[in-house]
Structures are given as C-alpha cells and as structure tokens.
Amino acid sequence: MSRRRIIIGTRGSALALCQTEWVISRLQAACPAIATEKRIIRTTGDLARENAKGKDVGKGVFVKEIEEALLRGEIDLAVHSLKDLPTELPEGLCIGAVPERADPRDALVSNYSGLAQLPYGARLGTTSLRRRAQLAGFRRDFQFFDLKGNLDTRLRKLDEGQFDAVVLGCAGLERMGWASRITERIPLEVCMPAAGQGALALEVRADDKATLEQVRLVEDKEARCAVDAERSMLRTLGGGCAVPIGACGFVKEGKLWLLGVVASVDGEVIVRREICGSPDRPEEVGRELANELSDAGAKDILRWNCGST
C-alpha cells in the first residue's frame, strides 16, 4: 500500500484530541505506511457549551462543521464520539469503521462509595436528560443540577464541593487516564447508556475508497455490530426529540444481545426490554427491540414528549 497522508478532523477538547491520537496509533500500527495530519475544527456545540449555561445542546451540534469540512474535501477522516452522531448522516458520508469500544456504562464520581450510599437529597451534577430520568427512577430524593464544561472542568466542580457526585461516561475517564476517579460503574439495570456511548466513529466520504480501505483496518466487528443495533433502535423510535432513551448491545457466544430503555423525563415511567438476535442482522434486531419497547409503553412516552402520533 503506497504511503499517503490522511488529514483528520477533530474537535479541540482534550478528550477529542486524546481520542484522535488513539485512533492514529491504531491506524499506524495496522498500516505503518499511513501518514496523518490533525486539523482542529471548532463546532457549533463547542460554542453552545460555552454560552448555554449548562443546557443540553443536543445531538449533532458537535459534528456539523466537521462533516461540512469532510464534504468539502478539506479533511479525509473525522473522529467522533459515536453517541454525538445523529442516526441519519449527510448524503455522501458514512461510518467507515468503529474501532474497539471502551466501557459504555455511565460512571459515578463521588467521595461516597456508590449511588446507594449517597446521602438523602444528594446533589448530582449532570445535564443529560437520559441520566436524570433513570437515576430519578432509582432514587426519588436525588436533586439534579446542570453540569457543563469539559471533563476536567466537571471534575473540578465536584472537587470544589458544588455537588455530592457527578455522572460522566466511563469511556472518557478511561481514555483521559482518570479511571481511578470512578467510584461506581453504574449497572445497566439502573442507568442504560446512550446509543453508541463508549465507541468512536471514523467518518469518511462514501466515495473515498482509499481512506475507506485504510480505516477498515481498525474495524472491530463486534463493536460495529452492537452500535449498529443501538442506532437502529434509536432511529426506529425517533430519537431526535428530547426523550430519555438508552441502549446497549453486545455479542456473546455468537449472539447479539440488545438492551433498551425509554423513560419519561421525570423518571416516573421507565420501560425496559431486551432481546437476542443474529449478529449478522444488527439493524433488524434494533428495529425489533424498538417495536417491543413501543408496544410496552414507549409509544405513549414518545407521544407525551414529542407530540408524535
């Protein structure tokens, strides 16, 4: 394979840069002929996070400008946290590869030993509706407060005593070398992660055969199978509106297991289901679970929150 340079677009946060370096190391290990150049791109989400006073800025805003640069040919490859990608990609783009996935679970970071040990009326820092709803279902006494900023900023706010605990992603803490800060890896039956959480997406132009060929060298088939099922479930449910939806898939003993949850915003109603299917048909498995969730009550939750019919 001839030597070529791949220009990689990424956000400028410490975590985004860390993830990009990790991808570069995997690409170069798989193909030493690859030369890379990083290009930092400021996104709408970065600006919104700075100015939105802690509000959840929504899916897609952390990738828009990067995808535009990719479509213009200014970069060859984009590295994203997969959970930030909308389930429908712009025409002409595709997920070229999903590398090995980190722990998809949510993490409790606290001076207390776990969720059950937090004091009555504990102050939890998280802006995520998905986390708030499920944790409210676990304990009604929890108080939730907005938590914005990059990982280091969020941890600093905890250390300053603004919260009794904060809820973050295990994967981000691990990639930054801060796994020791994790107090508890929250069980899936308590808080289901976002679809794609813990995974990275290597997004490329669909007609760029050379880059596609090279990024596929770092594809992890089981991770790809799991996230394809999760994203299919989310897409079928219509995950574009502000409804707490979680999903987690994994391959075990040759079978694809997919778990899903849809909750009301206040956590009063939580619908959970899981199914097992063929890893050769992940999108079909995702659609099947979405339909089971809908039949079990998720349809009503979606109607209440989105005005869907």
Which domains does the chain carry? 4-98+200-219 (3.40.190.10), 106-185 (3.40.190.10), 231-304 (3.30.160.40)
Read off the pLDDT of residues 5-53 as tens digits, 9 standing for 90 and up.
Answer: 899 999 999 999 999 999 999 999 999 989 999 999 987 766 655 554 4
The structure tokens 């998905």 sit at 130
CA 263 remoteness from chain centre = 18
Residue-wise burial string across 292-304, b where 16 or more C-beta atoms lie within 10 A, e elsewhere: bbbeeebbebbee
pLDDT at residue 242, rounded to an integer: 75
Query: Is residue 198 within 8 Å of 169, Cβ to Cβ?
Result: yes
Tokens representing 196 are: 């794609």
pTM of the complete model: 0.91
Quote the CA–CA distance of 274 and 225 in Å, as a whole number.
Answer: 16
- Residue-level pLDDT at 54: 44
pLDDT tens across 271-283, in order? 999 999 999 999 9
Under a CB-based contact definition with an 8 Å cutoff, are residues 286 and 233 in contact?
A: yes
Tens-digit pLDDT profile for residues 190-239: 999 999 999 999 999 999 999 999 999 999 999 999 999 999 999 999 86
Q: Which residues are known to be catalytic?
A: 84
Q: What is the pLDDT of residue 306?
A: 67
For residue 66, is pLDDT > 90?
Answer: yes
